[in-house]
Chain A
């Protein structure tokens, strides 16, 4: 029963990983930029929520309404002012820029807020759970996270499939040079994609913070690796695959946690490396773009 419980928790944890991975996938799919600072954007989102809570008493859910657009705005201008320029210089340049950001953010956060965890209280939501059978219970927050993750992926798919901007984003993923020849301003399109990626990252960061009861400057490094692992395990180019990848990673971690509390991260990483070695295209084969 312990194993079944761990399995259930792992599946739900996968929802969080998939949510974290979504922004990474969008940025890579549309711009071919791997944002090494993706986890740090999540952290910043969670910090803003935590500060909103402690300074202004802002409810976490309300603060999302502020955090997501703010980080989206930041993403738009990071793309236009920094990454767009980097894209013109070389393939390595955008990577180095995002790595620079990934180094700056946690250190600024430590200097400003110390290494202490900034609390994100959810009014007991994080500990509330529904008992399914004896020994197996489902946490309310992880369940909500999973539902939101699925909804978010579905919404992103719809956006990409049905809207004009989404169509341009898929076209840019195929061939951005030709897209420009069709009269589409790639800079604005890229910036919109990055705004979307940052906004979703911040959103996922708040959910991560709620789960952990708060946020520390070190969470970003871990989060970007989890997000990336979910993307690769699921298979590049498939958002639903990313959800599957997140679930595999989540289950691997929670099952390892049953054996020893020190093992989850290592086992998660080893599962990722094994998938990379033996199924490099990911566990889900799909033709869906982004």
Chain B
């Protein structure tokens, strides 16, 4: 890069838009936090599902869309998050604290499991995570105290259903907010750039001195914690686990894949849109039974093949939209900067959009 080219441009990190996003985001979260005082409990408690769906979609997207790791085994952490409540509840914690403590434990477990899973890449990584999820389920059902193969309900729980719903609502909202904030800051950080370069070309990223394994491991752990917290919420809302094969079901991975693909993989906004779409579809079509899953699978295939950018990806490409500012834009400051320099900078900016 010639020196004059470096002087002629500056890198815009959308700092002003970040401030706006922070203010608007905070306002929405506060508004949602007060929603239970306005709406009927039945209304707000139905939003809990939406919150954990967005959480699940967001962390799966972080894994697959940003770090290039397609996992079909995130149900391992969902299940662990649910069963973690029993474990720490039995140790004397209230169910909500149990969820938070369990998430720490799940982070440690995910960290350990990453050393096994990272032996594989690409498609074999995907199937390997599936095996791990199966193994985790098979271990969990060995414990009679956790209900073995039968499932279990939370024994020590707030008896007042209104308070119970309220706390679960706030927990789910808090988890969602934390997930989105963490994702936003992660992608704006140096690691976000590292992630994108890994996704674009892992070998080149390594050659540029990016700690590929460490970066991927951090994402893997965050995704595990996020799925674990979502699993805790699922368990809290249902006051227990109906059966281990349900909470550890690979269907959860199918839902995550569906939400992220429909909404737009590799964007922050996409999984949120996808989760809303899935939530609405679920309200109306879940009585279709298993045909519903068939439709989801078929739609996921169709979107992958014919609409690979998803709804948000297509919209943002068309109208140049971005709600969450995670990109970098190179702006020419002085007019008359060398043509050659601009071309080079366009290259550099191309990887950071």
Q: Which residues of A contact B (CB under 8 A)?
A: 28, 32-34, 36, 82, 85-86, 89-97, 99-104, 107-108, 110-111, 221, 224-225, 228-229, 232, 236, 262, 265-266, 269-270, 272-273, 276-277, 280
Which chain B residues border A108 with CB–CB below 8 Å? Answer: 290, 294
Q: Give A100 to B70 CA distance when docked, in angstroms.
A: 13
Whether A104 lies near B298 (C-beta < 8 A) is: yes
Q: Separation in Å of the B196 CB from the closest CB of chain A? A: 14
Contact flags (1/0) for B199-226 with A, using CB distance below 8 Å? 0000000000000000000000000000
Whether A90 lies near B294 (C-beta < 8 A) is: no
Which chain A residues border B250 with CB–CB below 8 Å? Answer: 103, 221
- B254 interface residue per 8 A CB criterion: yes
Which chain A residues border B70 with CB–CB below 8 Å? Answer: 92, 95-96
Whether A89 lies near B294 (C-beta < 8 A) is: no
Q: Separation in Å of the A110 CB from the closest CB of chain B? A: 5
Whether B301 lies near A33 (C-beta < 8 A) is: no
- B30 interface residue per 8 A CB criterion: no
Which chain B residues border A225 with CB–CB below 8 Å? Answer: 127, 130-131, 134
Whether A86 lies near B298 (C-beta < 8 A) is: no
Whether B304 lies near A96 (C-beta < 8 A) is: yes
Whether B308 lies near A89 (C-beta < 8 A) is: yes
Stretch of B20-28, B118-126, B161-169 that contacts chain A: B118-126
Whether B291 lies near A34 (C-beta < 8 A) is: no
Q: Separation in Å of the A237 CB from the closest CB of chain B? A: 12
Ranked nearest first, the 8 interchain pairs of A and B with the lowest CB-CB distance are: A34-B123, A103-B297, A100-B301, A266-B138, A104-B297, A269-B135, A107-B290, A100-B297
Q: Which residues of B contact A (CB under 8 A)?
A: 64, 68, 70, 72, 115-116, 119-120, 122-124, 126-128, 130-132, 134-135, 138-139, 142, 250-251, 253-254, 257, 261, 265, 289-291, 293-294, 296-298, 300-301, 304-305, 308
Which chain A residues border B119 with CB–CB below 8 Å? Answer: 276-277, 280
A89-B305, A225-B134 given as contacts; is B142 within 8 A of A266 (CB)? yes
Contact with B124, one of A82, A93, A94, A228 (Cβ below 8 angstroms): A228
Choose among B68, B124, B254, B289 the residue with the greatest number of A CB atoms under 10 Å from its CB: B124
Which chain A residues border B304 with CB–CB below 8 Å? Answer: 86, 89, 93, 96-97, 100
Whether B301 lies near A34 (C-beta < 8 A) is: no
Which chain A residues border B126 with CB–CB below 8 Å? Answer: 34, 36, 95, 99
CB-nearest residue of chain B to A224: B127
CB-nearest residue of chain B to A38: B127
Q: Separation in Å of the A141 CB from the closest CB of chain B? A: 26
Q: Give A280 to B119 CA distance when docked, in angstroms.
A: 6
A97-B304, A228-B124, A277-B115 given as contacts; is B131 within 8 A of A269 (CB)? yes
A85-B305, A111-B291 given as contacts; is B298 within 8 A of A276 (CB)? no
Whether B305 lies near A273 (C-beta < 8 A) is: no
Q: Give A89 to B120 CA distance when docked, in angstroms.
A: 22
Q: List 29 A-B contacts (CB under 8 A).
A: A28-B123, A32-B123, A89-B305, A91-B122, A92-B70, A92-B265, A93-B305, A93-B308, A94-B123, A95-B122, A96-B257, A99-B254, A99-B300, A100-B300, A101-B297, A103-B250, A103-B293, A103-B300, A104-B297, A107-B291, A107-B294, A110-B290, A111-B289, A225-B130, A225-B134, A266-B135, A269-B135, A270-B135, A273-B116
Which chain B residues border A102 with CB–CB below 8 Å? Answer: 297
Which chain A residues border B135 with CB–CB below 8 Å? Answer: 266, 269-270, 273
Whether A107 lies near B293 (C-beta < 8 A) is: yes
Which chain A residues border B142 with CB–CB below 8 Å? Answer: 262, 266
Q: Give A85 to B306 CA distance when docked, in angstroms.
A: 9
Q: Give A92 to B115 CA distance when docked, in angstroms.
A: 22
Whether A91 lies near B254 (C-beta < 8 A) is: no
A36-B123, A99-B72 given as contacts; is B116 within 8 A of A276 (CB)? yes
Q: Separation in Å of the B219 CB from the closest CB of chain A? A: 15
CB-nearest residue of chain A to B291: A111
Q: Give A219 to B278 CA distance when docked, in angstroms.
A: 28
Choose among B64, B123, B289 the residue with the greatest number of A CB atoms under 10 Å from its CB: B123
CB-nearest residue of chain B to A274: B116
Which chain B residues border A269 with CB–CB below 8 Å? Answer: 131, 134-135, 138
Q: Give A266 to B139 CA distance when docked, in angstroms.
A: 7
Q: Separation in Å of the A22 CB from the closest CB of chain B? A: 16
Whether B298 lies near A100 (C-beta < 8 A) is: yes
Choose among A82, A104, A266 the residue with the greatest number of B CB atoms under 10 Å from its CB: A104
A100-B301, A266-B135 given as contacts; is B294 within 8 A of A34 (CB)? no
Q: Separation in Å of the B263 CB from the closest CB of chain A? A: 14
Whether A86 lies near B305 (C-beta < 8 A) is: yes
Contact with B257, one of A33, A99, A224, A270 (Cβ below 8 angstroms): A99
CB-nearest residue of chain B to A267: B138
Which chain B residues border A101 with CB–CB below 8 Å? Answer: 297, 301
CB-nearest residue of chain B to A270: B135
Q: Give A34 to B213 CA distance when docked, in angstroms.
A: 22
Q: Give A33 to B250 CA distance when docked, in angstroms.
A: 20
Q: Separation in Å of the B256 CB from the closest CB of chain A? A: 11
CB-nearest residue of chain B to A280: B119
Q: Give A135 to B116 CA distance when docked, in angstroms.
A: 39
Q: Give A240 to B297 CA distance when docked, in angstroms.
A: 35
Which chain B residues border A90 with CB–CB below 8 Å? Answer: 308
Q: A89-B308, A102-B297 are in contact. List 20 more A-B contacts (CB 8 A).
A: A34-B123, A36-B123, A93-B308, A96-B304, A97-B305, A103-B293, A104-B297, A107-B293, A107-B294, A228-B127, A228-B131, A229-B131, A262-B142, A265-B134, A265-B138, A269-B135, A272-B131, A273-B131, A273-B135, A277-B119
Whether A82 lies near B290 (C-beta < 8 A) is: no
